[in-house]
Structure 1
Amino acid sequence: MADVTSVGQSQSVLDQYAQSEKQTEKSNELGKNDFLKLLVAQMNNQNPLEPQDNTEFVAQLAQFSSVEGIDNLNNTVDDMASELRSSQALQASSLVGQSVVVPSNDFGFLQNGDLIASYSEVPATTMNLTVQIKNKAGQTLETIDLGYHEKGPMSLRWDGANLEMDGEIVELDRSLLNRQEYFVDEEGNQVLDDAGNPIPVPYPIGEYQFEVSASIDGVNENIGAAMSGKVDSVTLGTNNQITLNLAGGAKASLSDVQQILN
């Protein structure tokens, strides 16, 4: 049979703790303040004839120290997470007005005086790399032979008329292009560049897509091309999720960015 004094003592401790909890918000977690209240209540209600064992008391103090340490660690982690979110938000805001390449973006939005870009991974060295430029409707506007490329990353930039591969201008045979429109002056004469060549009129504002293919070991393979988009704005949503709002209506997360265009 249980000791009557022990049972009454335990009940008194629980009653005292329950009374103190009426003044505070209920929680499923036992914090350091709650732990200390229980410890003090137990000391106030211990049997004077059978005081608490020193070893047990030291063990409880050690538990209190552990609870306090965990609580402080949680606060530190929360502070670090808050600083990280602030840093990410600042980084995202700095991208407004810049173009970024993200894998979820199928189309690049070409604007006046701007360019669109793509990023691809060439699986093996090839002598025959080709890009097809398509409009939003899926119509192939141009098919351009890019020639040799080693295995590895490959980037394209296009302003609607001129093309760059890995930062180098692609020499285009414009007689083979579908678009044969050039700038003219007020008298209807073609405007020439410094080299004496007519200046092509770029494709109009709109959404375009690059489809890259390569001949590898005699087999023609399609290579994925992640397209760029200009960051119009940044949204900080629930759970501090950062979303980049791209020109043309596409959206992407900050972690999706593969390349930032200068």
Structure 2
Amino acid sequence: MSIINPYSQSVPQAAGTTSNTSAVTSASVQKETVVTGNSYLDGLRLQEEVVPENNNDQMLKQEDFFALLSQQLSMQDPFKPVDNDQMIAQMASFSTVDGIANLNEEIINLNTVMSSSQALQASGLVGRKVLVPSDTGHLSAESPEVKGVITTPSAVDTITVRVEDESGQTVATFEVDGSAGGNIDVSWDGLDKNGEPVPEGQYSLKATGNVDGTSEELPVSTYAHVTSVSLGTASTGAILNLRGIGGIKLSDVLAVSES
């Protein structure tokens, strides 16, 4: 008793046909099975296709290069041997490229070590105050004053300092003696124009003075409290995390003060 697949597209051969016409190759059987249209029968077929392996490591390494070079020398035409100068040039070029790759790896490792070393040294700044090139300082219970430095190109009789809150509103105004010129220390006690304490937050110190008879804005730098140090990257170096301000690169610090 035989079972005939009703979904098969093959046509039964007559009894009188020769063996050549009745012979069915494995390839034709596989082809007919693929087009049956029955998902169950299609799922039972044998997969004879070979899936090539995905080899991502196709880079020519040094040992591969010399293996190919040895094979080339062993199969060269004895009447037309490989030019020695050309062979030496190829070997030198490969050695140069390999050396550059190794050098790049060593530089990356060196940058990592230097970044870690810099962060370790910068950890000594935790708990201290640093002078940063920003006119914005943070006022809090831990830091009830905003201190900074005003830079003047020359002696200025009187410097007017205007304190602004985060919305740009002026909360206090006071004057500083700038007759000494150069870097002038400035400090705001955290009180508004009425002598009342202001809320915690960020406040900016804006300084103006008469320079050669002209009123000019003067650059102001402020002190900030270092709370922690981050490793950063090879390009940024160590990052100092400042209270209420955020992160700043160690290379941007202008001065270090006592806590």
TM range (shorter): 0.5 to 0.7
Which 10-residue stretch deviates more, 226-235 or 240-249?
240-249
Matching residue of 1:53: 83
- 1:209 aligned to 2:240? no
Q: Which residue of structure 1 lines up, in the alignment, with residue 96 of structure 2? A: 66
- SS of the aligned residue for 2:244 comes to coil
Matched, 1:99 2:129: yes
For these two proteins, the number of residue pairs brought into alignment is: 202
Question: Are 2:242 and 1:246 equivalent residues in the alignment?
Answer: yes
Q: How does 1:83-162 map to 2 (within 5 A)?
A: 83-104=113-134, 106-112=136-142, 115-136=145-166, 138-150=169-181, 152-158=182-188, 160=190
Unaligned regions of 5+ residues in structure 1, if any? 1-21, 162-176, 182-201
Question: Is the CA contact 1:104–1:252 (under 8 Å) kept in the aligned structure 2?
Answer: no
1:223 equivalenced with 2:210 (yes/no) = no
| C-alpha distance after superposition, 1:163-204 (max 9, x if no partner) | xxxxxxxxxxxxxx853x9xxxxxxxxxxxxxxxxxxxx877
TM-score where L is the length of structure 2: 0.61
Cα distance in 1, alignment partners of residues 71 and 144 from structure 2: 72
Identity of aligned residues (%): 34
- Relative to 1, partners in 2 of residues 1:50 and 1:225: Cα closer, same or farther, differing over 3 Å? same
Q: Which has the higher contact order (CA 8 A, sep 6+)?
A: 1
Instruction: Give the letter for the 2:58 counterpart.
Output: K
Q: Is the CA contact 1:121–1:224 (under 8 Å) kept in the aligned structure 2?
A: yes
For residues 32 and 214 of structure 1, do their structure 2 counterparts lie closer, same or farther at Cα, with a shift above 3 Å needed? farther
Matched to 1:117, the amino acid is K
- Matched letter for residue 179 of structure 2: Y
Under a length normalisation based on structure 1, what TM-score does the superposition of the two structures give?
0.61
Alpha carbons of structure 1 residues 120 and 144: separation in structure 2 relative to 1, 3 Å = closer
Distance of 1:230 and 1:144 partners within structure 2: 25
Distance 1:64 1:36 in 2: 10
Alpha-carbon distance in structure 1 between the residues aligned to 2:190 and 2:68: 74
2:125 is paired with a residue whose SS is coil
Partner SS state of residue 107, structure 1 = strand
Extract unaligned runs of 5+ from structure 2: 1-53
